[in-house]
A and B are shown apart, each in its own frame.
Chain A
Amino acid sequence: MAKEMREPIETGCPDGFQYMHPVMRRNYGMWKFHEHPRPGVLKHVAYGGDECWTVRAGTQRILDLFTLRKLCDIGDQHGDGYVHFTIRSNIEFIVDNGAKVDGLIKALEEAGFIVGGTQNSVTMISHTQGWLHCDIPGTDASGVVKSMMDELIDEFRSANMPNRVHITTSCCQINCGGQGDIAINVQHTKPPRINHDLVAGVCERPSVVARCPVAAIRPAMVNGKPSLEVDEKKCICCGACFPPCPPMQINDPIHTKLSIWVGGNHSNARGKPTFQKLVASGIPNNPPRWPEATAIVKRILKAYKEGARDWERVGEWVERIGWSRFFEEVELPFTKYHIDNWRGARKSLNASGHVRF
């Protein structure tokens, strides 16, 4: 009857050394310096003199087998058969000889991949699953990212920004895309609509009540059935109740919007890491190309590129010029919604005589 089941082999995370280019294995921990000969190319030099050359390319991230095999063909024919993926899903071809770099670049570009994404470029947008695969998405990250990268491609291919620019997207307010110099995230604007017929059967009601960050959900009998109700005055429309209780539908074709945040930065260089701050909201969730969101991102990038000093990340640039000037330069409205009222909000208020004119 049932086939005999095979016990899993619990090996966990595989050893990376077996897949590493030999030049990396040989020089592990013995690198001396790096150079950036051109956008998309890194040259690392070891104390012993070995060189490691990297050619970085952007892809569509959701790879079909034809694309994956094409990338492997390029790695075999023009490289050494060793690759590495960056945290932003760029692929890197690793070779130990600079003479192979031009061939790799040519082959990648001929196949439609985009060489770049290194140092002070706008690198690949880190993104989440969206409508293609997530169970709670308000939008489709892949489509937003494709549409934006079509317009930011020159900034990916060149390295002309004051410092590196990390853009992220997230399809719900949990923010799986993480912190970015610029983040494009879903923002819900209406409380969940509840299908009371399904709640008792589908949802573990106490956990849903506990999940709400503002205690706006309480158990209730609706039409004679155990269900949940939401105090809509308290509700902040975050959508936290939707994953544990799908009958509390938060996504809406009209009222689910996009927001844009700036100034998130994971690096400790110069200042401590920072979280992103809200700059724009109410942006329509407008498939298939989301032009309104892209337009705002481009305005922010333009002002940053013109106004920031070398090595300033987006957040540092805004910190220096001040928020009033930021909102003026990117032609965005400043509203009451920009003023934080969540826990710790006082720390974001200007308790000083420091005012810019």
Chain B
Amino acid sequence: MAFDKHNTPMLDQLETGPWPSFISGIKRMRDDHPSETINKTINDLLGQLEHSYETRKGYWKGGTVSVYGYGGGIIPRFSEVGKSFPESKEFHTVRVQPPAGNHYTTAMLRQLGDSWEKYGSGLVTFHGQTGNIMFIGTDTVRTQDFFDEINDYGWDLGGAGPCVRTAMSCIGAARCEMSCLNEQKAHRLLVNNFVDDVHRPALPYKFKFKVSGCGNDCQNAIERADFAMLGTWRDNMKVDQEEVKAYVAKKGRKYITDNVITRCPTSALSLNDDDTLNVNNRDCVRCMHCLNVMPKALHPGDDKGATICIGGKRTLKIGDLMGTVVIPFKKLETDEDWESLVELAETIIDFWAENALEHERCGEMIERIGLVNFLEGIGIDPDPNMISEPRQSSYVRMDDWDEAAEAYFARKAEA
């Protein structure tokens, strides 16, 4: 092929070593792919990347690109050094929502690859940090062509910008015995209720749903999601005492004491003299540790549901925030239960959209206005499970203490 390949002496050093090399992979697209368009685009991409390695700076800038009818979903990239690397001067990423739980058939991966080969660079990542399939590298015109083709066989864009973002859920009930939740259903019900807010960015800032089936929180939901769901249960955990005895016989009493009994954060476990396990379920906080160590012996209870934490986010702007408990336990059994879950999400997003400052995440808004104002805004009553401990400062007005106390006892009587 008649084009000059850029020298990439720094990138070449990333082709050595035992871990699979992204540079070798990218070079194959330059050297071995039958499409000359791809060869040339990738050549200039490598040229620009080498330039970044030499100068220790990035050279992409954003812009405005979307597809017809949508306002987001594409990460536009225009090169600041496009004169030197013209073939890759537009190199947008198409964010596509993965199936709930990130399952694929190889046939579907091939079909997506074939479409991407027609319209893009041939580089793809499963998945980006928000959870999208990232089809990396195409120009403005072919962004539309690629989307039209994959949209026809069931794929839709994810979120980018101030909007409801692509959601994430763990593999959960599909393969994991710890699962306390229908993650597939929660994930799709929530995010697909907001397709308009995914595709047309008009919120104060981003809003993320993440669903983990248990307290192990494999989706990092508490840390990263504005709306985090964690599966849990409220009856007793299940104990197969014969399996407990088998663990003790296999690992020894000292191991079980040191790694299960004494590691329980609320001291809810003790080992009986006959090597069976005693569980104080009222003290248990469903942290999952003992289930993780003894997956054959211990299982979640039957009365399953979800804990919902609101307001997790990363550093920008006020610092990292964990989501905090707003719904200690939500039963998700009947159609009404699921409908009320979606309604809760709508209420929270509406309140946040009304009350947040520009570029303010939901957690930052709660930090600014206080959890109580947020709870009153969304119509949720306070619950001791929402806090680690009560207030330490006496500097607060308590005009309506008596009414609040009465309301608490009335709620308790009703429950």
Residues of chain A touching chain B, judged by Cβ–Cβ distance below 8 Å, are 5-21, 24-25, 28-29, 31-34, 44, 52, 54, 58-69, 71-72, 75-76, 81-87, 89, 91, 94, 112-114, 126, 128-140, 142-143, 146-147, 149-150, 153, 173-179, 207, 210-211, 213, 238, 240, 246, 251-253, 256, 264, 266-271, 273, 275, 285, 287-289, 309-311, 342-344
Complex partner residue of A135 from B24, B77, B108, CB under 8 angstroms: B77
Instruction: Determine how close the nearest CB of chain A comes to the CB of B220; give it in whole angstroms.
Output: 4
**Are A13 and B175 in contact, with the CB atoms below 8 A?**
no
CB pairs A–B below 8 angstroms (5 shown): A15-B188, A29-B173, A52-B175, A76-B106, A179-B320
A113 CA / B25 CA spacing, docked (Å): 12
As a 0/1 sequence over residues 183 to 199 of chain B, the CB contacts with chain A under 8 angstroms (1 = contact) are: 01001100110011011
Instruction: Determine how close the nearest CB of chain B comes to the CB of A20; give it in whole angstroms.
Output: 5
Assess whether B20 is interfacial by the CB under 8 Å rule: yes
Assess whether B122 is interfacial by the CB under 8 Å rule: yes
Chain B residues in 8 Å Cβ range of A64: 25-26, 28-29, 122-123
**Which of B56-64, B274-282, B337-345, B371-379 contacts the other chain?**
B56-64
Chain B residues in 8 Å Cβ range of A139: 56
Chain B residues in 8 Å Cβ range of A289: 13-14
A338 CA / B101 CA spacing, docked (Å): 39
Complex partner residue of A133 from B91, B108, B173, CB under 8 angstroms: B91
**Are A89 and B106 in contact, with the CB atoms below 8 A?**
no
Give the dominant DSSP class at A's interface: loop
**Are B127 and A85 in contact, with the CB atoms below 8 A?**
yes
**Are A87 and B219 in contact, with the CB atoms below 8 A?**
yes
Complex partner residue of A13 from B188, B292, B322, CB under 8 angstroms: B188
Contact A268 to B175, CB < 8 A, known contacts A62-B22, A62-B123: no
Assess whether B125 is interfacial by the CB under 8 Å rule: yes
Complex partner residue of B156 from A8, A25, A213, CB under 8 angstroms: A8
**Which of B311-319, B346-354, B401-409 contacts the other chain?**
B311-319
Instruction: Determine how close the nearest CB of chain B comes to the CB of A337; give it in whole angstroms.
Output: 16
Instruction: Determine how close the nearest CB of chain B comes to the CB of A281; give it in whole angstroms.
Output: 15
Instruction: Determine how close the nearest CB of chain A comes to the CB of B24; give it in whole angstroms.
Output: 8
**Are A58 and B195 in contact, with the CB atoms below 8 A?**
no
Complex partner residue of B179 from A20, A29, A210, A311, CB under 8 angstroms: A29
Assess whether B174 is interfacial by the CB under 8 Å rule: yes
**Are B151 and A63 in contact, with the CB atoms below 8 A?**
no
By beta carbon, the residue of chain A nearest B158 is A13
**Are B320 and A275 in contact, with the CB atoms below 8 A?**
yes
Complex partner residue of A140 from B52, B187, B217, B223, CB under 8 angstroms: B52
**Are B155 and A83 in contact, with the CB atoms below 8 A?**
no
**Are B109 and A68 in contact, with the CB atoms below 8 A?**
yes
**Are A63 and B60 in contact, with the CB atoms below 8 A?**
no
Assess whether B263 is interfacial by the CB under 8 Å rule: yes
Assess whether B331 is interfacial by the CB under 8 Å rule: no
Most central of A8, A64, A89 by chain B CB within 10 Å: A64
Contact A31 to B77, CB < 8 A, known contacts A85-B127, A268-B217: no
Assess whether B39 is interfacial by the CB under 8 Å rule: no
By beta carbon, the residue of chain B nearest A289 is B13
Contact A66 to B25, CB < 8 A, known contacts A87-B218, A146-B14: yes
Instruction: Determine how close the nearest CB of chain A comes to the CB of B251; give it in whole angstroms.
Output: 10
**Are B216 and A268 in contact, with the CB atoms below 8 A?**
yes
Assess whether B265 is interfacial by the CB under 8 Å rule: yes
**Are A44 and B177 in contact, with the CB atoms below 8 A?**
yes
**Are A62 and B125 in contact, with the CB atoms below 8 A?**
yes
**Are A32 and B55 in contact, with the CB atoms below 8 A?**
no
Instruction: Determine how close the nearest CB of chain A comes to the CB of B78; give it in whole angstroms.
Output: 9
**Are B314 and A178 in contact, with the CB atoms below 8 A?**
yes
**Are A8 and B199 in contact, with the CB atoms below 8 A?**
yes
**Are A251 and B19 in contact, with the CB atoms below 8 A?**
no
**Are B123 and A63 in contact, with the CB atoms below 8 A?**
yes
Contact A256 to B56, CB < 8 A, known contacts A34-B295, A207-B359, A270-B289: yes
**Are B220 and A31 in contact, with the CB atoms below 8 A?**
no
Q: Which of B164-190 contact A (CB under 8 A)?
A: 166-168, 170-171, 173-177, 179, 182, 184, 187-188
Assess whether B10 is interfacial by the CB under 8 Å rule: yes
**Are B154 and A11 in contact, with the CB atoms below 8 A?**
yes
Contact A82 to B106, CB < 8 A, known contacts A5-B68, A131-B52, A207-B358: yes
A18 CA / B156 CA spacing, docked (Å): 16
A323 CA / B223 CA spacing, docked (Å): 24
By beta carbon, the residue of chain B nearest A287 is B53
Assess whether B69 is interfacial by the CB under 8 Å rule: yes
**Are B177 and A34 in contact, with the CB atoms below 8 A?**
yes
By beta carbon, the residue of chain B nearest A311 is B259
Q: Which of B33-73 contact A (CB under 8 A)?
A: 33, 45, 49, 52-53, 55-62, 67-70
A133 CA / B152 CA spacing, docked (Å): 27
